[in-house]
């Protein structure tokens, strides 16, 4: 069975510093996709970044980058130059068959990490 683990329930970071949010996963499917979403207090889910299991390079999107270590089954999110607006809940999620459109396409979410950016 697939599983997503986020071991950091909450984190503090100083404004303008970088922060790493941890995510490990477990799956027997060689084809999968990994996602990070941000959920501010208002509740909407904001897509941040995607990594496919067969991607050769780590994904980057602006200040977000994904440290993908396939052998360790980890997909940590790195936020550079933190801003006050980055304070939110962050969820790591996995979709099996993610590279080729998979059978179900459903996402399985981790328990989330609450990030607080301090001025």
Alpha-carbon distance of 54 to 51, in angstroms, equals: 8
| Cβ-Cβ contacts under 8 Å for 25 (sequence gap 6 or more) | 2, 3, 4, 5, 32, 34, 73, 74, 75, 92, 94
We find the least distance from the C-beta atom of residue 78 to another protein, in angstroms, to be 18
Q: State yes or no: residue 25 binds another protein (CB under 8 A).
A: no
We find the least distance from the C-beta atom of residue 77 to another protein, in angstroms, to be 14
Q: State yes or no: residue 99 binds another protein (CB under 8 A).
A: yes
Name which of residues 48 to 87 contact another protein (CB under 8 A): 50, 52
Q: E strand or H helix at 38, and its extent?
A: strand 32-39
* Candidate residues 7, 69, 80, 111; the one interacting with another protein per rule CB under 8 A: 111
Are 82 and 90 in contact by the 8 Å Cβ rule? The answer is: no
Which residues contribute to the site for another protein (CB under 8 A)?
33, 35, 37, 42-45, 47, 50, 52, 91, 98-102, 104-112
């Amino acid at each position: 069975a697939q599983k997503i683990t986020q071991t950091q329930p909450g984190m503090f970071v100083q404004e303008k510093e970088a922060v790493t949010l941890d995510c490990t996963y477990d799956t027997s499917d060689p084809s999968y996709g990994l996602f990070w979403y941000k959920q501010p207090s208002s509740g909407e889910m904001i897509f941040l970044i995607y990594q496919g299991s067969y991607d050769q390079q780590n994904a980057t999107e602006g200040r977000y980058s994904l440290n993908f270590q396939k052998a360790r089954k980890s997909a940590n999110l790195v936020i550079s130059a933190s801003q006050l607006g980055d304070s939110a809940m962050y969820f790591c999620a996995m979709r099996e068959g993610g590279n080729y459109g998979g059978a179900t396409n459903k996402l399985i979410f981790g328990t989330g990490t609450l990030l607080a950016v301090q001025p």
